[in-house]
Amino acid sequence: MHAVMCAYNGVNGDPMCMSPMLSDVLENDFNFKTPSKPENYIVTDSGALSFMVSKFHKFNQSSDAAAAALVAGVDLNSGNVFKGLLNLFEHNDTRVSIGMVCFIFILSYD
Protein backbone atom coordinates (compact mmCIF):
# COMPACT_ATOMS: atom_id res chain seq x y z
CA MET A 1 0.00 0.00 0.00
CA HIS A 2 1.23 3.45 -0.91
CA ALA A 3 -0.12 6.93 -0.26
CA VAL A 4 0.43 10.34 -1.77
CA MET A 5 -0.47 13.53 0.07
CA CYS A 6 -1.65 16.63 -1.71
CA ALA A 7 -0.89 19.68 0.38
CA TYR A 8 -1.34 23.43 0.35
CA ASN A 9 0.49 24.19 -2.88
CA GLY A 10 -1.06 24.99 -6.22
CA VAL A 11 -0.27 24.64 -9.91
CA ASN A 12 -1.25 27.37 -12.38
CA GLY A 13 -3.45 28.99 -9.73
CA ASP A 14 -5.34 25.78 -8.88
CA PRO A 15 -4.90 24.05 -5.52
CA MET A 16 -3.15 20.72 -6.02
CA CYS A 17 -5.86 18.75 -4.22
CA MET A 18 -8.38 19.73 -6.91
CA SER A 19 -6.07 19.65 -9.91
CA PRO A 20 -6.74 17.06 -12.63
CA MET A 21 -2.96 16.73 -12.76
CA LEU A 22 -3.09 14.94 -9.41
CA SER A 23 -4.63 11.69 -10.57
CA ASP A 24 -3.50 12.04 -14.20
CA VAL A 25 0.20 12.16 -13.35
CA LEU A 26 -0.04 9.49 -10.66
CA GLU A 27 -2.00 7.12 -12.87
CA ASN A 28 -0.36 7.73 -16.24
CA ASP A 29 3.24 8.43 -15.26
CA PHE A 30 3.60 6.33 -12.12
CA ASN A 31 0.93 3.64 -12.51
CA PHE A 32 -0.15 4.57 -8.97
CA LYS A 33 -3.95 4.36 -8.97
CA THR A 34 -5.07 1.58 -11.24
CA PRO A 35 -7.57 -1.28 -10.92
CA SER A 36 -4.62 -3.57 -10.22
CA LYS A 37 -3.52 -1.35 -7.30
CA PRO A 38 -6.74 -0.41 -5.46
CA GLU A 39 -4.92 -0.21 -2.13
CA ASN A 40 -3.05 2.95 -3.15
CA TYR A 41 -4.70 6.19 -2.13
CA ILE A 42 -4.41 9.97 -2.19
CA VAL A 43 -4.87 11.87 1.08
CA THR A 44 -5.06 15.60 1.75
CA ASP A 45 -2.97 17.48 4.23
CA SER A 46 -5.10 18.53 7.20
CA GLY A 47 -5.91 22.06 6.06
CA ALA A 48 -5.49 21.71 2.30
CA LEU A 49 -9.22 21.64 1.49
CA SER A 50 -9.97 24.53 3.83
CA PHE A 51 -7.25 26.51 2.02
CA MET A 52 -9.25 26.14 -1.21
CA VAL A 53 -11.83 28.38 0.46
CA SER A 54 -9.74 30.65 2.71
CA LYS A 55 -6.51 31.18 0.75
CA PHE A 56 -7.14 30.27 -2.90
CA HIS A 57 -10.72 31.64 -2.82
CA LYS A 58 -11.88 28.96 -5.26
CA PHE A 59 -15.05 28.14 -3.32
CA ASN A 60 -17.40 29.78 -0.85
CA GLN A 61 -18.09 26.55 1.06
CA SER A 62 -15.80 23.77 2.20
CA SER A 63 -18.26 21.15 0.92
CA ASP A 64 -17.61 22.42 -2.63
CA ALA A 65 -13.88 22.07 -2.03
CA ALA A 66 -14.47 18.50 -0.85
CA ALA A 67 -16.44 17.67 -3.99
CA ALA A 68 -13.71 19.14 -6.22
CA ALA A 69 -11.04 17.11 -4.43
CA LEU A 70 -13.08 13.93 -4.73
CA VAL A 71 -13.56 14.49 -8.46
CA ALA A 72 -9.81 15.11 -8.82
CA GLY A 73 -9.06 11.70 -7.31
CA VAL A 74 -8.55 12.37 -3.60
CA ASP A 75 -9.61 9.37 -1.51
CA LEU A 76 -9.16 10.54 2.06
CA ASN A 77 -9.23 13.88 3.86
CA SER A 78 -6.88 14.28 6.80
CA GLY A 79 -9.12 17.05 8.15
CA ASN A 80 -12.89 17.05 8.53
CA VAL A 81 -13.98 18.73 5.28
CA PHE A 82 -15.14 15.48 3.63
CA LYS A 83 -18.00 15.38 6.14
CA GLY A 84 -19.60 18.07 3.97
CA LEU A 85 -19.99 15.52 1.16
CA LEU A 86 -22.92 13.95 2.96
CA ASN A 87 -24.75 17.29 2.88
CA LEU A 88 -24.13 17.59 -0.86
CA PHE A 89 -25.44 14.08 -1.42
CA GLU A 90 -28.56 14.78 0.65
CA HIS A 91 -29.23 17.81 -1.58
CA ASN A 92 -28.89 15.71 -4.77
CA ASP A 93 -25.64 17.32 -5.88
CA THR A 94 -24.64 15.44 -9.04
CA ARG A 95 -20.93 15.64 -8.19
CA VAL A 96 -21.41 13.19 -5.32
CA SER A 97 -22.86 9.68 -5.57
CA ILE A 98 -23.87 7.27 -2.82
CA GLY A 99 -20.92 5.09 -3.83
CA MET A 100 -18.50 7.97 -3.29
CA VAL A 101 -19.98 8.85 0.08
CA CYS A 102 -19.91 5.22 1.27
CA PHE A 103 -16.34 4.76 0.04
CA ILE A 104 -15.14 7.89 1.82
CA PHE A 105 -16.80 6.97 5.11
CA ILE A 106 -15.48 3.41 4.93
CA LEU A 107 -11.94 4.74 4.42
CA SER A 108 -12.40 7.28 7.18
CA TYR A 109 -13.52 4.78 9.80
CA ASP A 110 -11.78 1.59 8.72
Task: Round to whole Å and give the CA distance between 8 and 47.
Answer: 7
CA 109 → CA 45, 64, 76, distances in Å?
17, 22, 11
Enumerate the β-bridge partners of residue 77. Answer: 44
Q: Is 45 a catalytic residue?
A: yes
Measured between alpha carbons, how far is 104 from 110 in angstroms, rounded to an integer?
A: 10
Is residue 45 within 8 A of residue 16, CB to CB? The reply is no
Of the listed 24, 45, 64, 93, which one is catalytic?
45
By annotation, the residues acting in catalysis are 45
